[in-house]
Structure 1
Amino acid sequence: MSSEHELGPEEQLAALGKAQQGMDRASGYGARLLGSYCIALGLLIGGLAALLQIYRPDEKFAGFIVIMALFAAAVLAMSLAYGKLYRSLPRGYSKMYLRGFIASMVLYAVSVALIGAGPLDWPAMALIGVVVAAPLCATGIAMVRR
């Protein structure tokens, strides 16, 4: 015989409702946290994309290496954060994150390719930074607001 008593249907529903509230709270927290990380990563990668136009590999190779190392570290940190949080995200948020992340990575690759076009002026560098940061920042803002 068990020392635990059987729960009635009303008690089971109440326990299920309480568990669901806890899961909803955890998934909302996970979405806000990943959204904050997306915004931070978007701003960092956008800034690094703009700086690539200043620290060109043919002129300032050490600066170029530092920027690429910071980019790799930022992507690694974001991948680790996503690996920890993806189970607690609401439905559809993983796809939303991956779309924003891939879009920013493609735009970053385009900014690396623009190095061969020659030196750019400051407004063009700022535009590159904003365009590269936009997908991840928009994704992060959408995650934080929901």
Structure 2
Amino acid sequence: MSPDKEMTPEEQLAALGMAQQGMQRAAGYGAKLLGTYCIILGVLMGGLAALLQLYRPDENFTGFIVIMVLFAIAVMAISLAYGKLYRSLPRGHSKMYLRGFTISMVLYAVAVALLGAGSMGWGVIALIWIIVAAPLSLTGIAMVRK
């Protein structure tokens, strides 16, 4: 656009409308992308929490360390994704993500604390997976749907 040509009010409104449509499209894309990441991370965190019950540090220390490293990598990956996308999220999605992420992290910490309770059956291990995965996965599903 050249600086010497002035826009009429109608042209300014049309340009503003086009810019708003572009922002809404970007916000929707950002929410869907972060929602997909949340679903994947939620399932991964739940799986890792369940695997912790199988690879206990007193029985298989190497497996325990591998699981904890994978968990740290997953958390760093979702944190980097959030850092890239939080500016393009629709209003309220940031709080929704942080709430789901925090609840899943607390539940993961509870799963780690359960290591001291001794060996558990397959039903309890599956329940741990579901409980840890649920908050972040449900948050992701809500983000993808909106």
Q: TM-score range by the shorter chain?
A: over 0.9
Equivalent residues, number: 145
Alpha-carbon separation, structure 1, partners of 2:4 and 2:110: 63
1:60 match: 60
Residue 35 (1) aligns with residue 35 (2): yes
User: What is residue 121 of structure 2 aligned with on the other side?
Assistant: 121
Instruction: Report the Cα distance in structure 2 between the residues aligned to 1:78 and 1:131, rounded to whole angstroms.
Output: 19
Moved over 6 A (4+): none
Distance in 1, matches of 2:28 and 2:39, equals: 17
SS in 2 for 1:120: coil
Match of 1:109 in 2: 109
Are positions 1:80 and 2:61 aligned together?
Answer: no
C-alpha displacement at 1:144, in angstroms?
0.1
Shift of 1:3: 5.6
Q: State the distance in 2 between where 1:72 and 1:121 align.
A: 26
SS of match in other structure, 2:13:
helix
Counterpart code for 2:111: S
Distance 1:11-1:65 versus aligned 2 partners, 3 A rule: same
Secondary structure at 1:56 match in 2: coil
The AA in structure 2 aligned to 1:145 is R
Distance 1:126 1:87 in 2: 36
Shift of 1:23: 0.3
Q: Which runs of 5+ in 2 are unaligned?
A: none
Cα offsets for 1:83-107 (capped at 9, x unmatched): 0000000000000000000000000
Distance (Å, rounded) in 2 between the aligned partners of 1:47 and 1:33: 21
> Over aligned residue pairs, what C-alpha RMSD do you find?
0.8
The alpha-carbon deviation at position 4 of structure 1 amounts to 3.2
Residue 9 of structure 2 is matched in structure 1 by: 9
Q: How does 1:87-98 map to 2 (within 5 A)?
A: 87-98=87-98
Q: Percent identity?
A: 74
Alignment CA distance shift 1:5-1:123 (3 Å): same
Unaligned runs of 5+ in 1: none
What residue is the counterpart of 1:25 in the other structure? Answer: 25
Q: Which residue of 2 aligns with 1:50?
A: 50
